[in-house]
Structure 1
Amino acid sequence: MKKIIVLLILLLASLVIILPLSAAGQGNGNRFVDNMNLTLPEPDTYNLTDIEVLDLLFIREEEQMAHDLYRVWYDMYSIPVFENIADAEETHASEVQFLLDRYQVPSDMIGNLSSGYSNPDIRTLSEELAEQGKLSLTDALKAGVSIEETDIADLDKAIANTSKPDIILVYTNLRSGSENHLSAFTRQLT
Structure 2
Amino acid sequence: MKTKFTFILVLVLLTIIPELIFADQLSKAEKEGIQLMREEEKLAQDVYLFLYDQWGLPIFSNISYSETRHFNAVGYLLENFKISDPALPEMEKFQNKEIAFLYDSLTQKGSESLVEALKVGAFIEEFDIADLQKLLASNTDTIIEGNYQNLLRGSNNHLRAFTGQLESRGEIYNPVILDKTAFLEVAQGSHQMGGGNNSYVLQQNNCQNQQNNMPVRNRIRGKGRMRGQRGWN
TM-score, length of structure 2 as denominator length: 0.60
Hey, what does 1:177 align to over in structure 2?
154
- Do the aligned residues in 1 keep the contact of 2:77 with 2:144 (CA within 8 Å)? yes
Deviations 1:110-156 (A, max 9, x none): 13674521111111111111110111111110000100000000001
Supply the AA of the counterpart residue of 1:111.
Answer: L
Give the drift of 1:169: 0.5
d(CA) in 2 for partners of 1:128 and 1:112? 21
d(CA) in 2 for partners of 1:113 and 1:174? 23
Supply the AA of the counterpart residue of 2:63.
Answer: I
Hey, what does 2:221 align to over in structure 1?
none
Give the drift of 1:96: 0.3
Give the drift of 1:76: 1.3
Deviations 1:82-135 (A, max 9, x none): 11100000000000000000011111x313674521111111111111110111
> Which of these residues, 101, 107, 114, is aligned with residue 130 of structure 1?
107
Q: What is the correspondence of 1:43-58 to structure 2 with a 5 Å cutoff?
A: 45-46=21-22, 47=24, 48-58=26-36
Tell which deviates more after alignment, 71-80 or 95-104: 71-80
d(CA) in 2 for partners of 1:166 and 1:78? 37
In structure 1, runs of 5+ residues without a counterpart are 1-41
SS at 1:185's partner residue? helix
Name the Cα RMSD after superposition: 1.8
Hey, what does 1:64 align to over in structure 2?
42
Aligned residues: percent identity? 37
> Which of these residues, 125, 128, 146, is aligned with residue 151 of structure 1?
128
Hey, what does 1:106 align to over in structure 2?
84
Supply the AA of the counterpart residue of 2:46.
Answer: D
Deviations 1:13-62 (A, max 9, x none): xxxxxxxxxxxxxxxxxxxxxxxxxxxxx99x412210011000000100
d(CA) in 1 for partners of 2:162 and 2:67? 14
1 or 2 for the larger relative contact order (CA 8 Å, sep ≥6)? 2
TM-score, length of structure 1 as denominator length: 0.74
- Do the aligned residues in 2 keep the contact of 1:74 with 1:80 (CA within 8 Å)? yes
Supply the AA of the counterpart residue of 1:163.
Answer: T
Supply the AA of the counterpart residue of 1:81.
Answer: I
d(CA) in 2 for partners of 1:69 and 1:106? 24
User: Do structure 1's residue 168 and structure 2's residue 145 form an aligned pair?
Assistant: yes
